[in-house]
Structure 1
Amino acid sequence: MTQAPEEKIDILNKLDELLERKFNGEYEESDAASIRKEINEIVPLARQIVIETKCFKLMNIAPPPAIGGAVIQNMDPFDTIFERFYGMSFIPSIRDMLQQSVGVLRAGELIPETQAGGEPHERMVYKQLEMPERVTLGWLVHNVPVSFWFWLVGLLGAAFAFGIQASKWEFVRQIFGVCTCA
């Protein structure tokens, strides 16, 4: 189902307005069920638009450190739109995603990539590292992550420290013939 950017913006703005009313309590008690119903009907479509505009964010939930408890990672906030975790609502975060998506649509930055069938799809891009004729220290410095160099220096330092400590052990001195035993 392809929609014009203005239709998508209208859907996102409608959900944003409903969520604002729900979050701020700006509705009559008799309207609570109808607002919840409208939100539930719009959420799947709005979620798809947010994903399409690359404004979708997964959330992590952790209790306050003093309380402790389970940590939930990579949770879709649209799935728990009416839930509160540790006293926090996801509605402000969802509204941010909706408003960012409207901005992307208004800026015209959304260029859908389509397959032969006309359906949008994600494309993984892999950058392949060119292999040089000779692997030099300069090539390694530019193409190997810094964390590897820290790991290597740490490993060499640990081996050196272990060697110094091992040279004090009597059986090691006997193995290498450096024994000063009588």
Structure 2
Amino acid sequence: MRGGDYDGSARSPDERSDIRATRLSHAWNEPGDSRLQLMGGAPILVLREQGGGIGGFFRAAEAILMPYIIGLFAVIVIMNLQMAGAIPMDAVGAGLVIAAVTFAAALAIAIHEAWTMKRGVIGWIVNIIVALLGAFFAAQVGGPVVAIPLLGLAGEGSSSLAAAGGGLMVAALALMMIVGIGGASGAVWLVNRRR
């Protein structure tokens, strides 16, 4: 699909968009194909299910929206842990709790993608490794990007976001969770482009 049309022939851009529109309109009625397809390099996802109909539509919506739902759930969990005082700000345990929630959400994204795409054993292993690495590297790169502007908002007296506490710490945790989940989802998406 990369660099050309579906059947490999050279077509004008208008003809290619007509073919894509036709395939989109018939996607719900083609039995036997239960894969999400990336159409022509554009992020248009279509789920083809056996039998099609409205059930296929809802399964497609679930497959597309689930990373956002997992991310929202992870943000809610980390904010509740912070507000309940379950994240110790004066010890190593804070980083461990935050990392555990981030990696649990990344693992959920990897498992969901492997399950919905009906991957084999190697596909599951690749998804899990890629999602965890993506979350790890996104947290490393996104940490300073999130922390430096928020630390500037904390004022002159604060040496860290943990020392500032309150709303800034909750905002930092929520933003870092979004960055980590985005890294996991992006890494799985990049690997899927190569499959």
Instruction: Determine which structure has more spread, i.e. the larger CA radius of gyration.
Output: 1
Higher helix share: 2
Q: TM-score, normalised by structure 2?
A: 0.27
